[in-house]
């Protein structure tokens, strides 16, 4: 639900303050006005049919309901013309129509002025009313295609591009519908678009797109904004990732940062693959090694380790809603977590992992992925989660209306839901849990609007008839793992790319659609191809990404790439996740956090479900997700005052620092020279030696009298914890 609410809110924001400006030059009376081709685009552009205004799905203010973005023209006509005792329009006195008086602000209107009097839109509606407010005109053509020109290009920073939108109709006619189309850039930091289709390029280089919409169709203008700086040297290419990242940088003229140093690499890759800081021994051994392939070797070692499985299981179980709502959920949650974790440890191929999840049968103990069906009970929920998580497609809108930015219709939605209609349940011996099995029968789901029972079909791909005896979910799994599937591999590689680079090639990572193109399409395609060719090998994907020099670039910007946020010309630092940070603090403080029911020493990244958030203010403050949503956005990665205060002053942090068996206590009794002790601290916190100035500052601080040695070490550790270098992966 939060995502749906967000969706409406964003739609509202999109249109607030927008109105069609007067365009008196165009006379609408020259031809018969079409409700479909003329009036509805006006109403859509004016934002009448968005969420919190008159959209039916949003409730429809004052009982006036229109289909979202005008996908149901016939219904909209009925609502406008015949509902409300016909008071919304007046064919005899068009300008007295409630429709025009309210929209133009001549009567109080909650939505403000949407159509200024005598604007083009106003005139179109008035003309239509004058002509009798008919639903259709004789020989009315229908829209067959919609284009925007230019559709791609390279544009300089701070320049402008005028888009021209053209509609083609079934009678062969073409119309310039630039002023009737709606424009929406995908990255408002890079470009803005006016209602007349003028694109204003801002001062950030990279790629952006502008989606233009007209009558339920959309077209995209994709632009590349070069920085134009000289790219004189590029790091050596280690694989195709480097080829394509660096080619893009070269094209855009963005010189990349240098390759990061060994300490930064070690800390970064351990945090990204294993969710932990390096141990003192690991850091020493790695920094001291002169082996040419030592970075690759660390990656291999991490991929073999249970740390990889623990950390990625943490990611997947939250997305798969492994949520403890009742104390008795503990068994199914632990079993489900363990299944995910063991699958990752064994490097179960991703398509097989998803197959076992989607088509699971039996009991939770016998077959733990069944627990997913305990959390996600209805076919609708099931397909929405499957689509968003495994296909990167948000289908929620299409349950009630045609997806506004996509090609998905309600038929697509219910055809996908049909795969899950033969999931049988019978009570198990365990209270609150069902046995899941395939219920014999022909799968079909009814489109609530048309009433038509639809057989399973996968996002536009026809599926051969599924006999009653065969589990449709297995057919869905077959479709997913087909090498030509356009969504499955793409969604995963984009999700994993984001894991390592902080930004997906498509953003948000689970909103993949034609109207939201990737910033580096060639790279996305190559990753996808490589992943499919590897047999959906997740470890190979991680290996490919992390071995690349693109991943190993320094986060320190050069004079040119400081504003780059999407082309990976440098590593984008990211605050440590809640669990990772808690483990990191424990590691630095030499303590353990105790978690209910789990063995002492269990890491926070290995927690099986969300229940531990309740007992840990730390995990809550730093945004550990509750498993409510399949969206990674549920994990809060932003900063807050509460976080700062927590790190500075919270009792749990203080207790860790003051622990009698902690690092401060130990170091204060250590007989080694203070320099070595400071070195140990820097190695533990940052996986590097202290710089000279840092060492001197620390030694000076430790030599202060008036406080105990233990207090001094506690304060020093506290200071290290509160550095950005510690709190961020960089």
Between CA 173 and CA 64, with CA 169 as vertex, the angle to 5 degrees is 130
Q: Does 464 bind another protein (CB under 8 A)?
A: no
**3-state DSSP helix/strand/coil percent for the chain, to nearest 5?**
45, 10, 45
Find the shortest distance in angstroms from Cβ 435 to another protein: 8
* Interface segment toward another protein; rule CB under 8 A; list 96-104, 145-153, 434-442, 646-654: 434-442
**Using CA atoms, how far apart are residues 358 and 373, in angstroms rounded to an integer?**
9
Q: Does 598 bind another protein (CB under 8 A)?
A: yes
**Using CA atoms, how far apart are residues 250 and 449, in angstroms rounded to an integer?**
51
* Interface segment toward another protein; rule CB under 8 A; list 167-175, 425-433, 531-539, 560-568: 425-433
Q: Does 650 bind another protein (CB under 8 A)?
A: no
Among 30, 232, 281, 326, binds another protein (CB under 8 A): 326
Between CA 405 and CA 433, with CA 454 as vertex, the angle to 5 degrees is 95
- Provide φ and ψ at 47, rounded to 5°: 80, 15
Q: Does 339 bind another protein (CB under 8 A)?
A: yes
**183 membership: H or E segment, kind and range:** strand 182-185
Q: Does 85 bind another protein (CB under 8 A)?
A: no
Q: Does 658 bind another protein (CB under 8 A)?
A: no
Residue 439 vs 449, nearer CB to another protein: 439
Among 440, 669, 672, 691, binds another protein (CB under 8 A): 440
Q: Does 482 bind another protein (CB under 8 A)?
A: no
Q: Can you spell out the DSSP letters for 432-481?
A: T-EEEEEPPS---EE-TTT--EE--EETTEE-PPPPTTS-HHHHHHHHHH
Q: Which of residues 228-287 bind another protein (CB under 8 A)?
A: none
**Using CA atoms, how far apart are residues 662 and 647, in angstroms rounded to an integer?**
17
Q: Can you spell out the DSSP letters for 32-45?
A: PPPIIIIIHHHHHH
* Binding track, positions 299-318, relative to another protein; x by CB under 8 A: -----xxx--x---------
Q: Does 528 bind another protein (CB under 8 A)?
A: no
Among 170, 483, 597, 708, binds another protein (CB under 8 A): 597
* Binding track, positions 346-385, relative to another protein; x by CB under 8 A: x--------xx--xxxxx-xxxx-----------------
Residue 14 vs 338, nearer CB to another protein: 338
Q: Does 693 bind another protein (CB under 8 A)?
A: no
Q: Does 345 bind another protein (CB under 8 A)?
A: yes
Q: Does 474 bind another protein (CB under 8 A)?
A: yes
**8 membership: H or E segment, kind and range:** helix 2-15
Residue 309 vs 318, nearer CB to another protein: 309
* Interface segment toward another protein; rule CB under 8 A; list 133-141, 156-164, 430-438, 663-671: 430-438
Are the beta carbons of 472 and 466 closer than 8 angstroms?
A: yes
CB contact burial 120-157 (16+ within 10 A = b; e otherwise)? bbbbbbbbbbbbebbbebeebbebeebebeeeeeebee
Residues 6 or more apart whose Cβ sits within 8 Å of residue 381: none
Sign of CA dihedral 456, 461, 465, 467: negative
Are the beta carbons of 398 and 69 closer than 8 angstroms?
A: no
Residue 230 vs 599, nearer CB to another protein: 599
* Interface segment toward another protein; rule CB under 8 A; list 112-120, 326-334, 565-573, 652-660: 326-334
Q: Does 334 bind another protein (CB under 8 A)?
A: yes
Q: Does 158 bind another protein (CB under 8 A)?
A: no
**Using CA atoms, how far apart are residues 389 and 409, in angstroms rounded to an integer?**
19
Among 45, 56, 207, 438, binds another protein (CB under 8 A): 438
**Using CA atoms, how far apart are residues 96 and 118, in angstroms rounded to an integer?**
14
Among 110, 139, 469, 641, binds another protein (CB under 8 A): 469
Burial of 350 (0-12, 13-18, 19+ CB in 10 A): buried
Find the shortest distance in angstroms from Cβ 517 to another protein: 35
Contacts with another protein by CB under 8 A lie at 304-306, 309, 325-328, 330-331, 334-335, 338-339, 342, 345-346, 355-356, 359-363, 365-368, 424, 427, 429-431, 435, 437-438, 440, 469-471, 473-474, 597-600
């Amino acid at each position: 639900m939060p995502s749906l609410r967000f969706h409406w809110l964003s739609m509202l924001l999109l249109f607030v303050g927008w109105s069609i400006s007067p365009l008196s030059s165009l006379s609408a009376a020259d031809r018969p006005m079409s409700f479909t081709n003329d009036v509805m685009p006006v109403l859509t552009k004016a934002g009448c049919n968005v969420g919190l205004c008159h959209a039916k799905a949003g409730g429809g203010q004052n009982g006036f309901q229109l289909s979202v973005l005008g996908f149901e023209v016939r219904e909209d006509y009925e609502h406008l013309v015949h509902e409300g005792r016909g008071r919304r329009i007046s064919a005899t006195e068009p300008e007295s129509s409630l429709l025009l008086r309210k929209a133009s602000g001549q009567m109080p209107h909650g939505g403000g002025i949407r159509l200024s009097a005598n604007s083009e839109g106003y005139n179109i509606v008035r003309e239509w009313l004058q002509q009798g407010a008919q639903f259709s005109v004789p020989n009315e053509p229908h829209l067959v295609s919609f284009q925007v020109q230019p559709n791609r290009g390279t544009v300089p920073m701070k320049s402008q591009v005028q888009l021209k939108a053209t509609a083609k109709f079934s009678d062969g006619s073409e119309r310039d519908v630039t002023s009737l189309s709606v424009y929406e850039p995908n990255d408002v930091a890079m470009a803005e678009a006016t209602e007349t289709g003028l694109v204003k390029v801002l001062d950030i280089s990279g790629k952006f797109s502008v989606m233009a919409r007209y009558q339920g169709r959309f077209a995209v203008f994709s632009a590349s904004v070069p920085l134009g700086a000289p790219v004189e040297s590029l790091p050596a290419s280690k694989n195709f990732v480097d080829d394509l990242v660096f080619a893009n940088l070269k094209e855009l003229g963005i010189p990349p940062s240098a390759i990061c140093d060994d300490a930064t690499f070690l800390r970064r890759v351990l945090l990204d693959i294993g969710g932990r800081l390096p141990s003192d021994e690991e850091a020493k051994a790695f920094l001291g090694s002169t082996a040419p392939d030592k970075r690759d070797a660390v990656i291999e070692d991490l991929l073999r380790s249970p740390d990889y499985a623990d950390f990625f299981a943490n990611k997947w179980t939250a997305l798969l809603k492994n949520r403890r709502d009742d104390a008795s959920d503990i068994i199914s949650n632990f079993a489900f977590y363990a299944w995910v974790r063991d699958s990752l440890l064994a490097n179960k191929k991703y398509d097989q992992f998803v197959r076992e999840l989607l088509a699971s049968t039996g009991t939770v103990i016998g077959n733990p992925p069944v627990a997913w069906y305990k959390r996600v009970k209805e076919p609708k929920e099931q397909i929405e989660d499957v689509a968003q998580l495994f296909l990167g497609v948000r289908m929620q809108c299409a349950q009630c209306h045609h997806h506004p930015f996509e090609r998905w219709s309600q038929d697509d939605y219910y055809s996908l839901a049909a795969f899950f209609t033969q999931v049988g349940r019978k009570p198990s011996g365990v209270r609150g849990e069902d046995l899941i099995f395939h219920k014999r029968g022909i799968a079909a789901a009814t489109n609530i609007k048309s009433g038509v029972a639809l057989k399973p079909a996968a996002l536009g791909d026809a599926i051969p008839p599924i006999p009653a005896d065969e589990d449709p979910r297995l057919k869905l799994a077959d479709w997913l793992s087909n090498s030509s599937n356009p969504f499955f591999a793409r969604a995963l590689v984009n999700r994993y790319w984001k894991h390592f680079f902080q930004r997906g090639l498509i953003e948000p990572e689970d909103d993949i659609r034609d109207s939201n193109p990737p910033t580096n399409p060639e790279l996305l395609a190559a990753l996808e191809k490589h992943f499919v060719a590897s047999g959906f090998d997740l470890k190979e994907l991680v290996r490919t990404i992390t071995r690349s020099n693109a991943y190993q670039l320094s986060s320190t910007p050069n004079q040119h790439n400081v504003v780059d946020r999407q082309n990976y010309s440098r590593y984008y630092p990211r605050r440590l996740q809640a669990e990772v940070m808690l483990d990191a603090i424990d590691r630095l403080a030499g303590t353990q956090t105790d978690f209910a029911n789990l063995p002492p020493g269990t890491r926070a990244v290995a927690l099986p479900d969300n229940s531990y958030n309740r007992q840990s203010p730390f995990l809550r403050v730093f945004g550990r997700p509750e498993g409510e949503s399949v969206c990674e956005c549920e994990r809060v990665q932003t900063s807050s005052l509460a976080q700062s205060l927590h790190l500075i002053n919270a009792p749990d942090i203080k207790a860790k620092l003051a622990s009698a068996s902690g690092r401060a206590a130990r170091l204060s009794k250590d007989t080694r020279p203070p320099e070595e002790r400071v070195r140990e601290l820097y190695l533990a916190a940052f996986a590097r030696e202290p710089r000279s100035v840092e060492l001197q500052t620390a030694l000076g601080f430790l030599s202060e009298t008036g406080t105990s040695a233990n207090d001094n070490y506690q304060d020093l550790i506290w200071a290290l914890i509160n550095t950005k270098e510690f709190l961020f992966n960089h």
